[in-house]
Structures are given as C-alpha cells and as structure tokens.
A and B are shown apart, each in its own frame.
Chain A
Amino acid sequence: MADGSVTEVKDALAQVGYLADEPAALVSFLAQRLGKPILVEGPAGVGKTELAKALSRASGRELIRLQCYEGLDEAKALYEWNYRKQLLRIQAGGEDGWQDVHDDIFASEFLLERPLLQAIASAEPVVLLIDEIDKTDQEFEAMLLELLSDFQITIPELGRVAATTMPIVVLTSNNSRELTEALKRRCLYLWLDYPELEREMEIVRLHAPELDEGLVQRLVEVVRMVRALDLKKPPSIAESIDWARTLLLMGAEDIDQETFEQSMSIIVKHRTDIELVAERVGVKLAQPIRTEG
C-alpha cells in the first residue's frame, strides 16, 4: 500500500471498499510509519475489525487474526510444544543418547505456532489483528507487552524470536473493561464512532450501488433515528448495508411503514428493541413523506 501521505492511505483504503474518515486514515498512516500498534475502540459494529481487514487488502499483506476470549492463554495465542511428536521422537530414537534427544526435541520442528508467533516469524510482512482484547484477562495483556513494543517473543528453550518484517498490528476493544495503561502506552489510539450522515451514505452506496439515491438517504436517516433510541443493540454499519441489500431484493421503492415493519428485523435484533423501534420509528414513517430537498 502506498504510504507516502495520509491522503494516499485514505485512497488505498477506499479502493478496497473501506471509507476511512480523517482520523482513521491518519492513524493507519502513522502506524505504518512509526511501526506502532493501533488500538481501536468504539461501539460494536462501526468497522473496527473491518479496518484491519481493509489494511491487509490494501497493503497486500496476509491477515493473521487472533480472536480473544475469556481464558485465552499463551498456549492458544503464542506457541505450544507438540508434545505428542516429542514423545514419538523420544521413543523412535531408542539408541540415541539423552543429550541428542534433549537437544533435538526442543527444535522449531516440534513447535506449534499460534497466531502471535506466526505473525512475528512470518517471512512476509503481515497484518496482525488482535480482536476484542478487552475479553481477555489482564495477565494476557501483560504478556502482549513484549510483543507490542519490541515485536519479539521469548521462548525459554529456543531463545528470542524477533520479527524480520514489521507487522501492522491492530487491536480492537469494545470497551467492556478498562485496558491497562501499559498496553495503551504502546499503542496509537483510535476511537471509531458511528459515521456522519454523509459518510454512511457513501458507505451504503459503495456496497449497494444499485440502490436509488433518495432511498439511500432515507435509509441512513432511518437507521440514525433508530440509533438515537435507547436500544440494547443499536444497528451497526454492516446492518445498514444488509438492509440496503434487502431493500434491493424486495424491490422497495420507498421506506414506508409496511416495508419498514417487514424488514426491520435486519437492523434490530432484540425483542424489546423491536417493540420500541416499531412504536417510535414505525409510526413516524406512517406519516406522508416530505419531498426530497
């Protein structure tokens, strides 16, 4: 990916279908130039994970993804010794002296690479996505520190594995708990929020180009109306796009109350939310639509 200037990064991202706003483009640019990880926070469904994927597509780098969850440990994230194979080696090499076996079974041949080590050891530059870091424990965060600041991993039996190429690291967090200062300190911070009306319209247009222009505006306005309600799960950008595609399939001419109630389940996915939205938004749509302009 061209990384000469912020605008070039923005254009490159747009070409692979990700319309970044100014801060997102700038932070992506800085991350490449400074070699620092990006910590992306924001509500669910604003395109945090998508940013990493777009970076990978735009730069032609492979995307390595580590999905975090409660109780994720080193063996799943970093590396693990393939003990079955090690046992086989010990049994197979009956005549070898202990010293030979000992030296042998801790070779990289017996190492199972997990995403983090994979990203570091890769010969080609990669994009490493550590998704939903807030789901893990603080201990896991601490383990990441070495990786994030020095791009290296220490394996006691093997020594230090340092990155040969600088990966672009993207961490995402849904803000379900406060991350440690130490982790934040090593990252560039990016807060992604729901996009402005104009930008969301562009995004929808990009992904559903056949949809009528007036309908796109109406759709985004309705989605924003829904987001303004106090919902358990407000509709994400991806759901706006899904809805746009649904409307295309339905061949809808306009979003009136009937169309809305038929297709509402695309953007609202909680029983109590559906009731609330039907009550507040559906009624508004029943009124005659004012002409565009």
Chain B
Amino acid sequence: MPSPYGPKAEAGPPGLAAKLLGFCEELRGEGVAVGTSEILDAFAALEQVAWTSREDFREALAATIAKSQEDRRAFELLFERWFFRAAEAEAVSRGVEERERRYEGGEQIDLDELREQVRQAIVEGDDGEMRDLARLAIAAFGRQGEGSGVVGVDVQRIRRTLGLSAGQQPPAEDGAAELPPIDRDQLNAFERHLRRELERELIERTSTLPPSRPLAELDRALPTSPTQDLAAVHRAVSQMKRRLATLGHEQRGRRKGWTVDVRRTMRASLETGGVPMHLRYRPKRPRRPEIYVLCDVSTSVTSASVFFLSVLHALHDSFRKLRSFVFIERISEVTEVFEHERDFRVIAQRISSEGGVADVSGYTDYGRVWLEFLGEISDDLDPRSTVIVLGDARTNGREPHAEVFAQVAERAGRLFWLNPEPRLYWNYGDSVMAAYERHCDGAFECWTTRHLENFVNVVAGGVPAAD
C-alpha cells in the first residue's frame, strides 16, 4: 500500500521496528504515556527523515513520542541507553569486535601530547574529537594494566592522570602560557564519553550486558539546605497550581448568580418561532482558587518549618490570591513579606524577627490561634477558599478549641492539614490531631517533596502515589 504521506525516505535496517517498539515499551516502564497512535506517528515521522542522521532520528522520535518536558527528559536518558545497549547486544550476538583496531598505537601515545589534545578538545567542545580521544586515553591506560574493572573508578583515575579539573587552571610549572579554564559541562561530556567507551569495552570482554536499572527516583528526605531543595518544592507546587487551575471548580451551592445570555436566548427562540422557550445562560467563568495557608513556626517543628516556609515561598510564586500566616502562640499575617521579598533566606529572617507570633512562653497555642484566625479572617472565608494548615497539632496541653476549628472548616470550602510527623506519632503525647482531623477534608503526613506531590495528587482527585 502506498504511504499516505508521500514518498518514503530510505527504509531503516531490518529489525529497526522491533527495536523501536522495545524502546517504547521501556519508556512506558518509566511512566511515559506512549499510545499506539504515538507509535504510528513515530513510524510515519521516521519515514520522512533519514535514519542515518542521528540528530534527526532522535528529534523525530521525540516530537512524536515525548509530549511534555518531563517525558522529554526520560526520553533523552532512555534513548542514549537503549540504543547504546541495542547496538552492543547486536555486536555481542554477531561476535563483532573492534578491540584490535581500537588499541592500535595505544603504546606509542605520548602522555603529554594526549593531555594537551584532550584539553584542547574540551575547551573547544568538539564532541567527535572528545570521543576519539576518550578511546585513545582508555587505550593508553588500559594497556598498562591499570584498569580496576569498575567503570566509575576508571573514569576518575583517567581524569586525574590527565590532570583535568573544572574551573580555572593552576599556572603551568614551566612558566608557559596560562591555560584556558575548563567548562564543567564540557568536562562532564568528556567523562560521559570515557564511561561509554569503558562500558563498551567491558561488554566486549564479558560478552554480556549488565542489567538495566530503572531511572533513579528523585526522592528526597527532609531538606537540610533550604535553597538547594527549594527547586524541588517549587516544582511540586507548580504542579499543584496546574491541577488546581483545571480542577476543583465543581459547582457548589444552587444555581444562583446565573445571568441570561440574551443573544443566545434569542437565537434559541428561532427554533420556537421567536418565542423564547428556553433561557440560555452565560457560562460561568472558572473562579480563581483563594488560598489561606497557616504555618506553625514553633520550636517543636523547627526542622520542618524550613521546609514549610519553602512550601509557602513556592505557593506565593504560583498563586495570586494567597494569604499566608505564621503562628506560635498568636497568629500573624506574612503575605506582605513574601510578596516583597524574593530571597528565601531574607524571608526566613524577616519572619523570625518581625513575625511577632511568640508571646511569652514560645509554645504553640492552637486554640488561641483558631480564635484569632476566625476573628480576623472569618468574613473573608467563603466556599471558594481553601485553607491549608501546616503544623504538628501539639497543643502543649492547652485548650485545643476544636469547635472553633470546626467553624473555620465550615466556612472554608476545603480544609487540609499537613502534619510534619509520621502518622504513627499522631495523637501521642500532646498531639490532638484526631480532634482536628475530623473537621478536615484531608490530613496528610508531609515532610518530603514526595509527600507534597502525594498531597497534590489527592487534592487534584488523583490517586495517592505508592510509597
């Protein structure tokens, strides 16, 4: 059957289709949604480009298969691995070896000259040259029996022997011209080549492929350095924003506030001879989520409050209508601080100095916080608003005022509680989580970005991620 897409480019080598299907299977395993229609598109696209051009081949595949930036990332990683492995597996099965040719001249290499060439290639960022030199370097070292057999160790050993390090170069000893600085990315590229070639050699030597591992999980523990993990929190929150932007607009209350769309009503009346039998209404504009965040910053949650503040920081970046509060014994609004400050460290400092939330003892007083919150804010709360509480619900033996909390829950559309303690510890000691949990639309343990993502999923009506 002639292709509906015009003349085909040259067909790929036999077995390519099977390899591609295997690749798609692998992608699915990493959670990229590759449907049959994507695969058909991929084949159609590959008919249009020359399969011998690596760049075009990869881009054509990516354009048809990876439909988001996250997917694209997984695609890049897997593409490299899959086709590298596929080529090696083929070589093993056919008994193709290039060992002899590769090491030709390995003994005669002058180390200083090689070092100079590698440096040159890295500075110029010449990919092909780096690859060839990586092979040469391996040849020079491998022949001397210096290989440890562990790829990662060998890579570092070779790098050190070549005297390569990123950044400014130390001045040459013999007073020669100053060496240009080496870019870290380029150095990494060279190391990748080394690794690739060493793996190839290992596969040839053992005639087997090492087992393929799933991509590393981007799981994190409680962030210790806030600025480092801020990015991860921001990612999770921006995902939450997207979810909230499309979901959670379900209609609440009765059909009030609808306005008649005169034009469409007139138009509909044509069907009934000009008598407006059916009223048409203007579509309701989706409403913007209004969010209130209450964050406990007392000493009992010190370790978590940095994480919580970074969550707050990220929320402020994503939502326009967001008001944030911190509390210990009293509650204090800090929306202003977040709106005018971008630097996370400055924010943390200002909140601890200006918050004015600790009264006398410095122990959390949840009951008083609810009373104050209700007193100040209750008029603004309506079914559109979402309240998120970040805290451990440890009242230090004071009156929890759960009934006040219930009032808050009633006025707000939705109320969620994120607790930095494992569920196991809830309700032990002075924790009164159970009293509050009854009134929440959901209570979650939350001290890692993974938990945060889980929360986002649940809020958006998805399934909780498996632990």
Measured between beta carbons, the chain A residues less than 8 angstroms from B266 are 83
A23 at the interface (CB under 8 A from B): yes
A27 touches B59 (CB 8 A): yes
Q: Which chain B residues in 236-271 approach chain A with CB under 8 Å?
A: 241-243, 245-246, 263-264, 266-267, 270
Contact in complex: A73, B267 (CB < 8 Å): no
Known: A177-B242, A177-B246, A230-B342. A33 touches B63 (CB 8 A): no
Q: List 23 A-B contacts (CB under 8 A).
A: A23-B63, A26-B49, A26-B59, A27-B59, A30-B63, A30-B64, A33-B6, A70-B286, A71-B286, A83-B270, A86-B270, A105-B270, A137-B246, A176-B241, A177-B241, A178-B243, A181-B67, A188-B41, A188-B63, A189-B62, A189-B63, A189-B64, A189-B67
Contact, CB under 8 Å: A176 / B242: yes
CB atoms of B37 and A185 under 8 A apart: yes
Q: How far is the CB of A236 from chain B (nearest CB, A)?
A: 18
User: Assuming A86-B270, A184-B68, A185-B38, is B245 touching A176 (CB within 8 A)?
Assistant: yes
Known: A23-B62, A83-B270, A276-B342. A33 touches B48 (CB 8 A): yes
| Nearest neighbor of A183 in chain B, beta-carbon distance | B67
Closest to B263 in A: A83
Distance between Cα atoms of A264 and B355 in the complex (Å): 35
Looking across the interface, which residue of chain A has its beta carbon closest to that of B66?
Answer: A189
How many residues of B sit at the interface, in one of the four size bands? 35 or more
Note all chain A residues with C-beta closer than 8 A to B68. Answer: 41, 178, 184, 189
Residues of A near B374 (CB, < 8 A) are none
B72 touches A26 (CB 8 A): no
Sorted nearest first, the 8 A-B pairs with minimum C-beta distance are A184-B67, A177-B242, A189-B67, A188-B63, A177-B245, A26-B59, A33-B48, A83-B267
Do B66 and A30 touch (CB < 8 A)? no
Interface string of B13-35 (1 = CB under 8 A from A): 00000000000000000000101
Q: Does A158 contact B (CB under 8 A)?
A: no
CB atoms of A190 and B286 under 8 A apart: no
Q: Convert A1-20 into 0s and 1s, putting 1 for each residue whose CB lies closer than 8 angstroms to a CB of B.
A: 00000100000000000000
Cβ of B270: which chain A residues have Cβ within 8 Å of it?
83, 86, 105
Residue of B nearest to A98 (CB): B273
What A residues does B286 contact at CB under 8 A?
A: 70-71, 137
Residues from chain B with a CB closer than 8 A to the CB of A177 are: 241-242, 245-246
Q: Looking at chain B's contact residues, is the secondary structure mostly helix, strand, loop, or mixed?
A: helix
9 A-B pairs besides A30-B63, A75-B264 with CB distance below 8 A are: A26-B49, A105-B270, A138-B246, A178-B246, A181-B67, A189-B63, A189-B67, A189-B68, A276-B342
Could you count the A-B residue pairs with CB atoms below 8 Å apart for me: how many are there?
95
Bound form: Cα–Cα A153–B416 in Å: 44
Complex CA distance for A194 and B49, rounded to whole angstroms? 26
Chain B residues, Cβ within 8 Å of A178: 68, 242-243, 246
Residues of B within 8 A of A272 (CB): 340, 342
From residue 264 to 285 of chain B, which have CB atoms closer than 8 A to chain A? 264, 266-267, 270, 274, 283, 285
| A28 to B33 Cα, complex, angstroms | 23
Residues of B within 8 A of A79 (CB): none
Least CB distance from B158 to A in Å reads 29
A175 CA / B71 CA spacing, docked (Å):
14
| A185–B68 alpha-carbon span in the complex (Å) | 11
Is B60 an interface position by the 8 A CB rule? yes
Question: Given that A33-B6, A276-B342 are contacting pairs, would A6 and B64 also be in contact in the complex, using a CB cutoff of 8 Å?
Answer: no
**Min CB gap A183→B, angstroms:** 9
A83 to B261, CA, bound (A): 14
Residue numbers of A with Cβ under 8 A of B are 6, 22-23, 26-27, 29-30, 33-36, 39, 41, 70-71, 73, 75, 81, 83, 86, 90, 105, 137-138, 175-178, 181, 184-191, 230, 232, 272, 276
User: Are B45 and A30 in contact, CB atoms less than 8 angstroms apart?
Assistant: yes
B46-62 Cβ-contact flags toward A at 8 Å (1 or 0): 00110000011001101
From B37, B41, B56, B62, give the contact of A6 (CB < 8 A). Answer: B56
B residues in contact with A26, CB < 8 Å: 49, 56, 59-60, 63
CB atoms of A191 and B69 under 8 A apart: yes
| B64 surroundings in chain A (CB, below 8 A) | 30, 188-189
Asked if residues A187 and B342 are in contact (CB atoms below 8 Å), the reply is no
Chain A CB within 10 A, most for which of B59, B64, B340:
B59
CB neighbours (8 Å) of B35 from chain A are: 185
Q: How far is the CB of B146 from chain A (nearest CB, A)?
A: 37
**In the complex, which of the residues B37, B59, B69, B274 contacts A41, with contact meaning CB atoms closer than 8 Å?**
B69
Nearest A-chain residue to B244, judged by Cβ: A177
**B6 pairs with A30, CB closer than 8 A:** no
Whether B151 sits at the interface, judged by CB under 8 Å, is no
Tell me whether A185 and B246 are in contact (CB under 8 A).
Answer: no
Residues from chain B with a CB closer than 8 A to the CB of A90 are 274
Assess A187 versus B67: contact at CB under 8 Å? Given A34-B5, A70-B286, A83-B266: yes
Among B37, B48, B55, B241, chain A packs the most CB atoms within 10 A around the CB of B48
The answer to whether B45 touches A191 (Cβ under 8 A) is no
The answer to whether B41 and A29 touch across the interface, beta carbons within 8 angstroms, is no
